A = this chain, B = another copy of it.
Amino acid sequence: MVFSCKRGYHHGNLKTALIKAAMKQLQEDSLESLSLRGLARSVGVTPTAAYNHFADKTALLVDLKSAALSQFDSFLADALKDIPADQPEQRIRAMAHAYLAFSSVHPALFNLVFNWVPDLERLTEEFMVAGGRGEELLREEIVGFLQQQGQQPDDYQAAIASLSAWSMVHGITTLLKSSTVEAIIYCHNWPEDLNARDCDGCYRMLDHLVDLTLAGLRTGIPLIERHPPSPA
């Protein structure tokens, strides 16, 4: 079926409309409550028309996550556009800020990007491209930073360096997003200067953590034991 009569949707057009409607619903609802039937209703077509484009809910979520990943990647890339290429440290810091900002501006998309992963055989070509772009952006800057320090990381070392920066930023972002840091400051004997209740306080913590991560990377990526040591 190439054309659907209702509302004049045609192939591609309806698919896009369904993704758009899902994206909008996700701002207020959980991933679990999304349904193809409900989305079909919301754009005024029959469930059958929707099922022509998505075999099941997973197929919809894969495309939805591709769209969310693209939005996330653009958000990160935008943060870099005014910072010269030869300033990797500033670019890494700007990406870290954008990462935290995205989790607060688009919490539902952030959840979709980081808390839902389909069976790998369900991934589409589009997803495969979108899926790696954010990490690629980060890794490029990390490698630039290491090279400025006179290091020549190989692929494995570059991946580990990038994963370490990513993990740190992801960790503080999710601990802040879930109010875990705020709760622990409240429960606990942490110094008053540590404040997770306002933006300034959160970005200050993030900056300290970026400083420490870059300090670690500056010391050089250790000559890494790539495979588990053989049993003695």
Take A191-B155, A212-B161 as given contacts and tell me if A182 and B120 are in contact as well, using a CB distance cutoff of 8 Å: yes
* Cα distance A211–B228 in the bound complex, in angstroms: 16
Interfacial residues of chain A within 133-183, with CB under 8 A of chain B in the complex: 135-136, 155-156, 159-161, 163-164, 166-172, 174-175, 178-183
* Cα distance A137–B4 in the bound complex, in angstroms: 62
Map CB proximity to B onto A62-99 as digits: 1 under 8 Å, 0 otherwise: 00000000000000000000000000000000000000
What 7 pairs across the A-B complex have the smallest Cβ distances? Answer: A216-B216, A171-B171, A132-B188, A167-B171, A131-B187, A170-B171, A117-B179
**What are the residues of chain B within 8 A of A13 when measuring CB–CB?**
none
**What are the residues of chain B within 8 A of A168 when measuring CB–CB?**
164, 167-168, 171, 213
Which residue of the partner chain B has the closest CB to A227? B193
A186 within 8 A of partner (CB): yes
* Cα distance A148–B56 in the bound complex, in angstroms: 57
Query: How many copies of this chain are found per oligomer?
Result: 2
Q: List 16 A-B contacts (CB under 8 A).
A: A114-B175, A114-B180, A117-B178, A117-B179, A129-B187, A131-B187, A132-B187, A132-B188, A160-B194, A163-B205, A164-B209, A167-B209, A168-B213, A174-B174, A208-B222, A212-B213
Which chain A residues have a beta carbon within 8 Å of chain B's beta carbons?
114-117, 120, 123, 127-129, 131-132, 135-136, 155-156, 159-161, 163-164, 166-172, 174-175, 178-184, 186-191, 193-194, 200, 204-205, 208-209, 211-222, 224-228
Least Cβ distance of A88 to chain B in Å?
17
